[in-house]
Chains A and B, each alone.
Chain A
């Protein structure tokens, strides 16, 4: 089959070895056979230290940070087409997709504890529990990426990739969760993440390892079945057994798409083990894109040092020796103000996002490209500022999922407590709605907004 696949690639004018430039052949085959393409993908890019509201306004729109109090903004919903506007400087890298961009301002997330990071609360729209008062790492419920992963499934229902300021951090838990107290891993070491996702094609011994791993999983499955039939063992061993069944099943699925993985898996470079933060983040975007293109996952979370212990990361790869915490406190560097530095670092993230868009756009899918079936959401776990209080939570959404979102706009929701004011939970409900997992509520309602409707998706964004 692989010869045919290569031929097929050639007919598309692409080289067989080129990473990312190639579509998923199985999908093309399915398409050729007239099968519907129902892929829906969600990518979350979570950057630490807050997104300043004033920095997301396009040309000609004046937007100040809102006061940290109720009724802090206008009564009207603002809706500005981006068509004739210039994107804010940090978003320029994605201007090629300006008609797919929605800049969303004015959402609040007051149930979250605030502080340097809201950790799981950022994507979970729940409170900090007993640790409230800021920076709680409590996991009171599922996060939106976890919820989408459960709904959409996949070989890896959720892939979390990220960087930590500490090189030794391999797998950390601070952004995503599949349920209360069930954190989903963020793999912070690109080399290890590669072996988890693409290990099956890593080297020549891979085939042997693959066979041995299958045998081992089968053996242990039998063994545990024998050991844990009753009593106190039953519950614990049952869960253990289930993990082997899941892994065995995944092995089979990976085996099925081995050729795709080999053709389109990323090429491991020095960046995968680099001590430079930006190198590792580049590598993770590389891996993440490949995971989407190869069909390994439909839900990807890319964490740029999100979480409470990493917000003082230093982006040395951008030539900075000042850490983000100091920048958050107004620090300047070589003539650049804190505001310039915020923009500069965000711009770098949008260059990575643009790279991801380009890769997805090159893969035909259905009547369009893979990008048409993908939504990318950019936000900060630190909400609206370095010391977040979550009165606002600026976000950038790229993609319309086959025209289901009305894009190419700058929207700004009414002030906190005003009629029509909405929360981050409503944004997440919008994403769930798009994924086909419609529901009325997500996370926790804001008790101070009890007089407002906090349910359902953001109707203003839907086409």
Chain B
């Protein structure tokens, strides 16, 4: 593995988390600390002298550089809150960031011993370092720690509780509110993780306020009724259990409240209430009816079911006894929900709940069978699958990039995104060599939804133009005929909309999603290509490396120099400090300079011609505006700093570049890592190596089948088991 730049400090944690996977020769694979005394002894032996020798000159009570005093940092991570600081210490050591330059470098074995103790102590404290990284940069775990079949560390994924995703919540309330408006989305993605539904954001007050508003609106729809004389009648399909609560003749009996609560539990939670729950809800409803009247009181009681933690959170805690490996399996009900949410956004269907009740989900094969059932069912809506590709490639962000209507009339990012969606589905229909196809196919849809309609509109607009021109030739003599939809087909390099879909684009110009206009626009600015973002995407999502965060002290702006090419303007990033990170992005972004910022294939880059602009004046000397010239195009790139010699080397242009990537085993593994992240809702850690390797094998054996990959992931050890946190 070539030496990574020292500044890649965040890669770091990696070496540390490697302790279990790649022990130095002669060292135990994993240190286990059973007691505080054992930990203290190891600390005194391996850590304390190291800190005294290499760290304490600065991190002492007097100086406390970086607000860190290592002479007093509590080595007991269970009894104190020192864990986070120890994790940082390990990270800085492993990344070579500390001790700082100019100080003697500690022997690698000594630093490794410190890391080994810290990991073991963190585990003993029930706060393994790997879990800290569950939602930040997934690539921080080095590739080799996950795909080495000879080194498979034990699974250690902990129990999880997460609030519903915005999509799950929308599907849930949509089903319940029966089209009633006024249901607001309480949740928003956290935005820090690779995929939207990964973090564990906490519920805050505005969220609860919205949840409550929604719950009341839903219950109002569920219990819509009118009173005629002294009888209550449902408006729409209102269950009799609910209607009984609103009988004006008498307040509901205990039994009637119980029946209504049971019905609400079944509707919302898909299970009956326990005896205790029944009793609590009856008491609550009665008090509420006494305090707030029959209608309001009863409705608030039913709304409470929608606010129960079980209705707001996804429970993946596991139950039952720990097995020999220290794992507990998720309860069948938890599996049914997790599986269903994982594929469909919806709560489990009847068959899945039956599988949970009858023991089918007690075996991994049973889970896989149910997953395949859902994946193969053409009637089951599986928005999660397309969304994976949208989020992975990020092409749907094209609609977020503002292009000026004046300069680019008819630019329609929405159509470009629809086309790529359709392409993904087209590849998924065949379900063969999915990743390679997505990266290399020159097949494309071109305004597949709107082409025919747009052509019709264009003909109408053109006819209108000709009519008006004939009537008023003087006014129209300099006007050009309208070109409705032009920017869409031109983005694909076509002269008009195709008559049949999909079409084959020139194979030397286009290869896969990274050359689709949607992806190129998504990684562009209002006026220009964004080679850095493109490069960053390739670096992270295909090569699986870590690009450090932008240091907060950096003013990351390219110079405003319209007479220079983008590559020339990006020269500022070659300053040593910038280049540490930019060497990871620029060279793998440049091949896409083959296209302009609307995704059009080009052979020259248009830049301002200052001299010609200065001369561009009318006879009176009034400037007539900027003049552009075509600068020679350079779309060469370089694959380097990957950690895979098979892949590294120069590339000439986008098509060659993506084809090289598509042929790489590592790229396929990195893709599997991302699928893991998406379907597990967290980052992979070394303990997930077995699940990842099995998933990759299933993908391979299935001939590059996405269905096989997904089924393997959702029936994996990582999906189905939890290792409880030490109490």
Interface residues of A (CB under 8 A from B): 68, 110-111, 113-116, 126-127, 129-130, 132-135, 138, 140, 170-171, 173, 181-182, 185, 196, 205, 208-209, 211-213, 215-216, 219-220, 223-224, 227-228, 230-233, 235-237, 239-240, 243-244, 246-247, 308, 329, 389, 444-448
Contacts and interface: CB of A to CB of B under 8 A. Distances in A.
A429 to B, nearest CB: 18
13 contacts: A113-B557, A209-B296, A211-B291, A216-B300, A219-B280, A223-B280, A228-B309, A231-B725, A232-B725, A236-B162, A236-B203, A240-B312, A247-B205
B287 A215 contact: yes
A389 B559 CA distance: 12
B429 interface: no
A240 B288 CA distance: 22
Given A209-B296, A231-B724, A239-B203, A135 B402 contact: yes
A110 B555 contact: yes
A49 to B, nearest CB: 13
B184 A170 contact: yes
Interface stretch (B4-12, B84-92, B207-215, B459-467): B207-215
Contacts of A216: 212, 288, 300-301, 303-304, 307
B218 to A, nearest CB: 14
A130 B288 contact: no
Contacts of A215: 284, 287-288, 291-292, 300
A231 B291 contact: no
Given A130-B550, A240-B309, A212 B300 contact: yes
Nearest to A232: B159
B517 interface: no
B554 interface: yes
Contacts of B284: 215, 219
A232 B557 contact: no
Contacts of A138: 191
Given A224-B309, A232-B317, 9 more contacts: A129-B550, A130-B549, A130-B550, A208-B297, A211-B291, A220-B304, A232-B725, A236-B203, A237-B313
B160 interface: yes
B478 interface: no
Interface string B175-213: 000000000100010111000000010111111111010
Contacts of A212: 288, 291-292, 296-297, 299-300
A244 B208 contact: yes
A223 B317 CA distance: 19
Contacts of A233: 161, 309, 313, 315, 317
A132 B556 contact: yes
Interface string B307-338: 11110110101000000000000000000000
B555 A134 contact: no
A205 B188 contact: no
A177 to B, nearest CB: 12
Nearest to A237: B309
Contacts of B557: 113-114, 132-133
Counting from the closest, the 9 A-B pairs by CB-CB distance are A239-B202, A212-B292, A212-B300, A243-B208, A232-B159, A208-B292, A208-B296, A132-B556, A211-B291
A213 B287 CA distance: 12
B204 A239 contact: yes
A366 B310 CA distance: 50
A243 B313 CA distance: 15
A171 B208 contact: no
Contacts of A205: 296
Nearest to B314: A236
B274 interface: no
B707 interface: no
Interface string B533-561: 00000000000000001101111111010
B495 interface: no
Interface of B: 158-163, 184, 188, 190-192, 200, 202-210, 212, 280, 284, 287-288, 291-293, 296-297, 299-301, 303-304, 307-310, 312-313, 315, 317, 402, 404, 406, 525-526, 530, 532, 549-550, 552-558, 560, 724-725, 727
B612 to A, nearest CB: 23
A448 to B, nearest CB: 6
A185 B293 contact: no
Nearest to B199: A181
B287 A231 contact: no
Contacts of B526: 115-116, 134
B659 to A, nearest CB: 29
Nearest to B725: A231
Contacts of B300: 212-213, 215-216
A243 B207 contact: yes
A446 B553 CA distance: 7
Contact of A447 (B202, B208, B209, B554): B554
Contacts of B207: 243
B158 A232 contact: yes
B296 A329 contact: no
B184 to A, nearest CB: 5
A196 B209 contact: yes
A237 B161 contact: yes
Given A140-B552, A239-B203, A171 B184 contact: yes
Nearest to B215: A216
Contacts of B550: 127, 129-130, 132
A246 B163 contact: no
Given A231-B317, A236-B200, A127 B159 contact: no
A209 B212 CA distance: 12
Nearest to A329: B406
Contacts of B184: 170-171
Contacts of B315: 233
A444 B551 CA distance: 11
Of listed B208, B280, B284, residue having the most chain A CB within 10 A: B208
Contact of B307 (A127, A209, A220, A445): A220
A40 to B, nearest CB: 23
A173 B188 contact: yes
A331 to B, nearest CB: 9
B203 A243 contact: yes
Contacts of B203: 236, 239-240, 243
A220 B304 CA distance: 7
B725 A219 contact: no
A329 B404 CA distance: 10
A173 B205 CA distance: 14
A247 B161 contact: no
Contacts of A171: 184, 206, 210
A422 B467 CA distance: 60
Given A212-B292, A215-B287, A215-B288, A236 B202 contact: yes
A275 B517 CA distance: 35
B289 to A, nearest CB: 9
Contacts of A132: 550, 556-557
Of listed B184, B293, B300, B549, residue having the most chain A CB within 10 A: B300
Contacts of B208: 240, 243-244, 247
Given A110-B555, A231-B724, A247 B209 contact: yes
A140 B554 CA distance: 14
A130 B192 CA distance: 10
Contacts of B192: 181
Contacts of B188: 173
Given A215-B287, A232-B160, A227 B202 contact: no
A343 to B, nearest CB: 23
Contacts of A114: 557
Contact of B159 (A113, A231, A308, A446): A231
Contacts of B532: 133
B170 to A, nearest CB: 14
B132 to A, nearest CB: 13
A189 to B, nearest CB: 9
Nearest to A182: B204
A113 B557 CA distance: 8
Contacts of A130: 549-550
A116 B526 CA distance: 10
